[in-house]
Amino acid sequence: MKNKTPWYIYPPDEPKKHHGDDALGALVGALLMMIVLFVALDHALYKVVSVMSAWWDSLGLWLGS
């Protein structure tokens, strides 16, 4: 008589990797996240500087006239 226990009840032969086991993957992921963060911050800083520059120019025109 065959064993009728389903295959999915038994644990796998090889243990699965847990989060943090792949150090190189974590390093690459962290570097990519830092690049995205720096690009986003650079874009936000550019927007703030351009708005402040336009405001300063308009203030100078208003005070100069």
DSSP 9-56: GSPPSSPPPPTT--HHHHHHHHHHHHHHHHHHHHHHHHHHHHHHHHHH
What is the Cα 31 distance to its own chain's centre? 9
For the chain, what's the residue count? 65
Res 60: pLDDT: 80
As given in the structure block, the two tokens for residue 30 are 């962290």
pLDDT tens digits for 20-57?
A: 568 888 899 999 999 999 999 999 999 999 999 999 98
Predicted model pTM: 0.56
Amino acid type, 48: V
Q: Which one is predicted more confidently, 3 or 25?
A: 25
